[in-house]
Amino acid sequence: MFFLFGMRTKTKALNQIQYPCSKCSRQTVFTAMESKRWFTLFFIPVIPLGGSHLIRCNLCGLTMKCSPELTEQITAKSMAAGA
């Protein structure tokens, strides 16, 4: 018996937020993303391994991990937009 398994990271763009960029040293627009890791079996994602939220600067591409407060803000915003 042979199993083909691996890991896959799925990234989904959630929304756009205003945030100060440390690289551009000014207020820019960031894309908020949700990154989820999956355990895959035969290239099919079967088990979610947890996720994290990231933001990426639209100008320079700097990617940062969201603070818990910012994650809350992003998810609240995307839920409001989806309603």
Chain residues in the site for Zn ion (CB under 5 A): 21, 23-24, 57, 59-60, 62
Pick 8 or 65: Cβ nearer Zn ion: 65
Name which of 49 and 60 has its Cβ closer to Zn ion: 60
Q: How does DSSP assign 13-39, residue by residue?
A: EEEEEEEEETTTTEEEEEEEEEEEEEE
What minimum distance in Å lies between the beta carbon of 33 and Zn ion? 15
Polymer length in residues for the chain: 83
Of the pair 64, 77, the CB lying nearest Zn ion is at 64
